[in-house]
């Protein structure tokens, strides 16, 4: 910044300053009109100048003066180039256009330009590191990255088709100019494509279901009949023919009734014949995954007394057709009240213990729960019997849990990095969900002997509020509080978050219901399948001989994608013995993950997990360029849209090396100590001179 400002302004009008000068002069003249003894003119004028300065500064401070200083300096222009690296750019014509556009920009660039690649995230690249595209296109993530930068001019090379996230329009920073370069050509080539597939992610063995498929056509030159088929495991399940008229854009919907057989993950493929000379054939086929379960998930809620937490757990989980939920409230020893008049299913997939074990809980009930191998969710309430809970867990550490006479209020929740609690698919919604929730109360203080082996999922005020652990080879989730039902009602006015608490509970239920055999090494993920270019969260648990979590081990994950094997090192464990890793698949097809655990450099075991990775098929729907959207965001952000062949028109953008930047500094004089010091100095100096002249 330059040392001398080019322009100085004050927030007080000129006429007011003139009046202040006159008032200060009048007060000074009135005080020094007659002095005893009489002074000569020079001495009097000197004293009057000192007194005038004091009066003027005091009167000025009453109006809270503020100076605005304008500095002008030259600065280097900061430009950035963002190159679309999503799957849709892999189409031959688009890729060639994009590479040629980048080379054209390189030739005209005279100043440094940062180059980035993007799909659903952003990373720094060079012209030589541009690779085959993969993953979806997310402009919301791109805009967020640009908003957090300090660029003056931004150029985006893309086809403009968004396949993930919201559609942004404006940048937050108005000083950034946005230029877009369209990659691809809009042609009138005939095209047929699979637009949508509607199939439930979960179904049940031997149950009937309808798979709804929507197919579309563009620019057909004549009436056409196309064959479409649904297949699984190499077997054709259905084959139909579709008749398209030669219209501009048409859609057809088909229902394929199927009966699910077998259990586990089922992969289905839908494919259509291709047209003669059809340019984009990648959108003629799509795949989807279903999980086939043996039956509906059985959930038993046991309440130590009637309460809102238990009631709303039942109401929310009961809305899910995949859950069979029964709510039992303990009235007296061995007796439970159930609205459906059903007995407790001790073989249920999940038990939810709300304020339970309670005052009437018997040893017979505890032994029944001990014999159950199901996962359990515990909500600690004011009436929970810690002694019976300790017996049920088989862990003496829980004896140290202390109940308090006055509950503690917990708020400002912080989320640990654990995939189970990714309530929403969008990271920004997850962040808003956890920061929006109202406080909850707790009567219990969890000692370190309990929290040390918990996987802490949610933390408040440095204390774990929600966490998981493994005891007796069973999964447990502990929610240390009551009043969680408020989370549901607090979010009802937010259309994006209003189902958050229900989705969180459903995540808990599905995680607890996975009754995978506990081994020394356990590899898990909460995803049914992966997508090319999208992060896949992998979690590994490492146990010692007594099946206690190990935090000082090492985990490596070997990934076989059918072409080559990749070795991935998991992050060091947290206090619960959880080793996390993130993998971004680059190819579709079956992937085999093998987690290998070591304790003190000694191999202790491994676990294998298989998963199908599907392409991001939305990326193949469009072969051209979304010129309308690219023009819109360029015009709305002070820029310009050009096609890849017109890249030379941006030459002036990259030739200017410097810009004149105006910086403004505001100085509030009435808060400056130097002004007060100056007033005191003037008063002190006046007093000294008056004393010397015999006026004191």
Q: Give yes or no for residue 124 having a pLDDT over 60.
A: yes
The pLDDT value recorded for residue 581 is 86
pLDDT attached to residue 381: 83
DSSP of 9-31, one letter per residue? Answer: EESS-HHHHHHHHHHHHHHHHHH
Q: What percent of the chain has pLDDT over 70?
A: 88
Least confident piece of the model among 424-433, 570-579, 612-621, 650-659: 650-659
Encode 521-548: b = buried (16+ Cβ within 10 Å), e = exposed: bbbbbeeebbbbbbbbbbbbbbbeeeee
Token pair recorded at residue 514: 């996975």
pLDDT exceeds 70 at position 435: yes
> What average pLDDT does the structure give for the chain?
82
* 187 or 136: which leads in pLDDT: 136
What Cα–Cα distance (Å) separates residue 482 from each residue in 94, 217, 384, 573? 56, 55, 11, 30
For residue 456, give Cα distances in angstroms to 331, 356, 408, 429, 576.
33, 22, 19, 21, 7
H-assigned helices in 135-238: 139-147
353 pLDDT above the threshold of 90? yes
Summarize pLDDT for 296-343 with one digit per residue, the tens. Answer: 889 999 998 888 888 888 999 988 888 899 999 988 887 888 876 788
The pLDDT value given to residue 557: 92
How many residues can be counted in the chain?
696
Helix, strand or coil, per DSSP, at residue 621: coil
The alpha helices in 516-591, defined as continuous H runs, are none
**DSSP run (H or E) holding 612:** strand 602-614
pLDDT at 114: 85
Q: What is the pLDDT of residues 341-350, one digit of tens each?
A: 788 899 999 9
Ordered DSSP codes for 40-96: -HHHHHHHHHHHHHHHHHHHHHHT--EEEEEEEEEEE--EEEEEE-SGGGGSHHHHH
The mean per-residue pLDDT over the stretch 644-654 comes to 74
The one-character DSSP state at 587 is: S
Supply 41's token pair.
């003119």
Q: How far is CA 439 from the centre of its chain?
A: 22
For every residue of 165-179, DSSP letters joined together read S------S-TT-EEE
Strands 641-643 and 536-542, bridge-based pairing: unpaired
User: Is a pLDDT exceeding 90 seen at residue 352?
Assistant: yes
Contact status, residue 392 vs residue 362, Cβ threshold 8 Å: no
Q: What's the CA gap between 548 and 466, in Å, rounded?
A: 20
Mean pLDDT value across residues 480-509: 87
> What is residue 110's predicted lDDT score, i.e. its pLDDT?
59
Give the count of beta carbons closer than 10 Å to the beta carbon of residue 366. 16
Band (pLDDT 50/70/90 cuts) for residue 620 is: low
Summarize pLDDT for 220-266 with one digit per residue, the tens: 888 888 899 988 888 888 888 988 888 767 888 888 888 887 777 88
Average the pLDDT over 415-425 and give the result. 63
pLDDT for res 660: 55
Average of per-residue pLDDT across 449-463: 77
CA distances from 638 to 100, 156, 510, 635, 659 (A): 25, 14, 49, 6, 17
Structure tokens that stand for 665 in this block? 């500094």
Task: Identify which has the larger pLDDT, 555 or 260.
Answer: 555
Any idea which of 137-151, 262-276, 381-395, 646-660 has the lowest mean pLDDT? Answer: 646-660
Residues 251, 239: Cα–Cα separation, whole Å: 18
The more confident residue out of 577 and 435 is 435
pLDDT-based confidence at residue 558 (cuts at 50, 70, 90): very high
Amino acid 672: pLDDT:
78
Of 552, 609, 558, 606, the closest CA to residue 575 belongs to: 552
CB 125 within 8 A of CB 115: yes
Q: Residue 579 burial (CB < 10 Å; 0-12/13-18/19+)? A: buried
Rg (alpha carbons) of the chain, rounded to whole number: 36
Can you tell me the mean pLDDT for 419-430? 68
Q: Give pLDDT tens digits for 67-122.
A: 887 776 666 778 888 988 887 777 656 666 677 777 777 666 656 778 898 988 89
116: left (phi over 0), alpha (psi -120 to 50) or beta: beta
The angle subtended at Cα 448 by Cα 447 and Cα 452, nearest 5°, is 135
Q: What is the pLDDT of residue 653?
A: 65
Angle at 630 between CA 634 and CA 91, to 5 degrees: 145
Query: What tokens does 693 get?
Result: 């002249």
Q: Is the pTM of this model over 0.85?
A: no
The per-residue pLDDT for 327 is 92
Highest mean pLDDT of the ranges 47-61, 63-77, 353-367, 409-423: 353-367
Closest CA to 383 of 293, 306, 320, 315: 306
Q: What is the pLDDT of residues 530-550, one digit of tens each?
A: 887 777 888 888 877 766 778
Per-residue confidence band for 2, with pLDDT thresholds at 50, 70 and 90: very low
Please, is 383 exposed, middle or buried when counting C-beta atoms within 10 Å of its C-beta (0-12, 13-18, 19+)?
middle
**What per-residue confidence (pLDDT) applies to 576?**
62
At 354 the pLDDT is 92
Dihedral, 110, 113, 117, 118 alpha carbons, nearest 10? -120
């Amino acid at each position: 910044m330059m040392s001398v400002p080019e322009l100085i302004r004050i927030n007080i009008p000129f006429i007011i300053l003139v009046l202040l000068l006159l008032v200060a002069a009048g007060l000074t003249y009135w005080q020094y009109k007659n002095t005893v003894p009489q002074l000569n003119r020079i001495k009097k004028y000197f004293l009057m100048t000192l007194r005038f300065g004091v009066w003027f500064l005091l009167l000025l401070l009453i109006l809270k003066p503020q100076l605005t200083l304008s500095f002008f300096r030259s600065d280097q222009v900061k430009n950035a180039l963002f190159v679309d690296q999503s799957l849709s750019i892999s189409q031959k014509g688009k890729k060639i256009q994009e590479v040629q556009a980048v080379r054209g920009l390189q030739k005209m660039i005279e100043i440094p330009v940062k180059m980035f690649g993007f799909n659903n995230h952003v990373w720094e690249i060079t012209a030589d590191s541009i690779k085959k595209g993969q993953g979806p296109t997310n402009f919301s993530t791109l805009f967020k990255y640009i908003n957090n930068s300090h660029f003056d001019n931004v150029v985006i090379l893309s086809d403009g088709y968004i396949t993930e996230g919201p559609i942004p329009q404006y940048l937050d920073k108005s000083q950034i100019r946005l230029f877009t370069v369209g990659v691809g050509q809009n042609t009138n080539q005939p095209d047929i494509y699979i637009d949508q597939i509607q199939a439930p992610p979960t179904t049940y063995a031997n149950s009937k279901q309808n798979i709804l498929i929507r197919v579309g056509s563009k620019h057909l030159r004549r009436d056409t009949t196309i064959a479409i088929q649904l297949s699984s495991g190499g077997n054709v399940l259905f084959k139909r023919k579709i008749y398209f008229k030669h219209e501009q854009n048409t859609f057809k919907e088909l229902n394929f009734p199927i009966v699910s057989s077998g259990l586990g993950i089922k992969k289905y493929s839908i494919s259509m014949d291709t047209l003669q000379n059809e340019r984009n054939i990648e959108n003629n086929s799509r795949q989807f995954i279903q999980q086939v379960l043996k039956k509906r998930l059985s959930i038993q809620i046991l309440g130590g007394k009637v309460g809102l937490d238990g009631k709303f757990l039942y109401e929310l989980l009961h809305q899910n057709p995949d859950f069979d939920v029964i709510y039992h409230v303990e009235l007296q020893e061995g007796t439970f009240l159930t609205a459906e008049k059903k007995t407790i299913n001790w073989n249920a997939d999940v038990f939810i213990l709300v304020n339970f074990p309670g005052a009437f809980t018997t040893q017979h009930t505890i032994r029944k729960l001990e014999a159950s191998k199901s996962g359990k969710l515990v909500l600690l309430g004011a009436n929970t019997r810690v002694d019976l809970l300790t017996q049920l867990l088989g862990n003496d550490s829980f004896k140290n849990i202390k109940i308090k006479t006055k509950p503690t209020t917990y708020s400002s929740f912080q989320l640990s990095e654990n995939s189970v609690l990714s309530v929403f698919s969008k990271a920004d919604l997850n962040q808003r969900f956890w920061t929006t929730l109202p406080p909850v109360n707790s009567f219990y203080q969890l000692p370190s002997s309990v929290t040390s082996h918990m996987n802490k999922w949610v933390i408040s005020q440095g204390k774990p509020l929600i966490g998981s652990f493994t005891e007796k080879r069973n999964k447990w989730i502990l929610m240390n509080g009551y009043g969680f039902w408020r989370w549901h009602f607090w979010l009802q006015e937010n259309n994006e978050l209003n189902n958050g608490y229900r989705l969180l509970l459903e995540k808990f239920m599905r995680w607890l219901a996975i009754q995978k055999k506990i081994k020394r090494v356990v590899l898990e993920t909460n995803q049914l399948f992966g997508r090319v270019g999208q992060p896949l969260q992998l979690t590994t648990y490492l146990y010692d001989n007594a099946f206690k979590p190990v935090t000082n081990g090492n985990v490596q994950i070997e990934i076989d994608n059918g072409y080559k094997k990749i070795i991935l090192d998991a992050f060091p464990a947290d206090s619960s013995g959880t080793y996390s890793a993130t993998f971004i698949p680059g190819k579709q097809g079956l992937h085999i993950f093998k987690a290998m655990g070591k304790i003190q450099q000694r191999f202790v075991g491994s676990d294998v997990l298989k998963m199908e990775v599907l392409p991001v098929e939305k990326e193949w729907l469009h072969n051209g360029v979304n010129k309308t959207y690219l023009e819109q965001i360029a015009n709305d952000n002070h820029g310009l849209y050009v096609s890849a062949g017109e890249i030379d028109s941006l030459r002036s953008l990259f030739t200017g090396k410097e810009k004149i930047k105006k910086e403004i500094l505001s100085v509030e004089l009435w808060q400056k100590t130097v002004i007060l010091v100056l007033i005191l100095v003037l008063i002190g100096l006046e007093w000294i001179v008056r004393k010397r002249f015999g006026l004191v």
